[in-house]
Amino acid sequence: SGYNPPVLFISDIRSTDWEIETDVTVENRCSTDMMKQMRWHEIMKPDCSMLKFRLPWGPGKTEYLDGDIYIQAWGPITTTETRLWTKKGGNMDKRVYDNERYERECFHHNTVSRVARYPHDVEGEGIDRCYDCTCEVYILKNYLRKWKSITDEKTLAEMVSKMSFEISRTSTGGRRRTLASGNLDPTQRRDAIRKCQWINSMPAYSAVAKKRKIAEEIKNKSNKDLYSTKALNILKKSGFQEGEGLGVNGRGIRVPLEVEGNILQRGIGWCVSNAFKQDNNASPQTAPQSTAAQSPNKIPQNSPSTS
């Protein structure tokens, strides 16, 4: 079609977890992440890239892509993470950054300029004149001017106040934190992050990887590995064959049993609705019994029952 829109590369890479890894490992992986971003930028040759930016702690210098460093609003109170916008036009220029100077400038921002007061005309829940609030107001106003063509200052202030209110309620993961909420201390913040991102006392990605590994191990096991000898003998005496009758909806013994899902379905190998009908030729002591009948889940009142 001849249409060749500019490409913007945005990266929020994070391959490390300070919760479970040593400081040395975190630092090494942060440096590796930075190099990966630069490599991707060089391969894709985008018109511009917005990259996560953090230099190593301590003395030394780092050669990296040239561009403008932007401070993020609402970062942790001691953060040294910023965003780097590379030069437009697919520029691959590099420059040398001073690690200690960058660290000092981040420290000055977090302790001095971040808590200073700045003028703006927006009133709203938790909105004061600090850097972060002023930055949010500035961003939202620019958005409304550019994309909604709103120029009236009073209207802008009212809409920004409303947008900020709504953003606070849709971006906090149900924790009900707003701009009026105080900063959490590091321990509380860690616990809040774990509550949202951890499963079974481990990071969610670790829990998912562990679950996949277990599933793969089960898949590769034989019936002898999955079931005890006693269980296999019981199944054999009952006439069950692999792939017949057992498991969810009778899809085989390799599919886990789910008692609630077996009611009125094949489940353990026979129809539950028939399992409760007493055989005219059998005594009550020898009538077939379903594990569903022993379940704490009650059988629906309209289900056949033993008379």
Q: How far is CA 104 from the centre of its chain?
A: 32
Q: Which residue has better confidence, 108 or 201?
A: 108
d(CA 307, CA 293): 14
d(CA 38, CA 51): 9
d(CA 22, CA 18): 7
pLDDT value, residue 294 = 40
In sequence order, the β-bridge partners of residue 131 are none
Query: Could you give the C-alpha distances from 22 to 14, 17, 18, 228, in angstroms and in order?
Result: 15, 9, 7, 42
Average pLDDT over residues 114-124: 96
pLDDT value, residue 282 = 46
pLDDT value, residue 19 = 60
Residue with tokens 């947008």: 163
| Average pLDDT taken over every residue of the chain | 77
pLDDT value, residue 157 = 97
Half-sphere exposure for 145 (CA within 13 Å, toward CB): 11
Question: 126 pLDDT exceeds 60?
Answer: yes
Question: 105 pLDDT exceeds 90?
Answer: yes
Among 111-115, 215-219, 224-228, the minimum mean pLDDT is found in: 224-228
List the one residue out of 151, 174, 160 whose CA is nearest residue 127: 160
Question: 249 pLDDT exceeds 60?
Answer: no
Backbone angles phi, psi at 161, to 5 degrees: -60, -45
Question: 203 pLDDT exceeds 90?
Answer: no
Q: What percent of the chain has pLDDT over 70?
A: 64
Average pLDDT over residues 210-234: 71
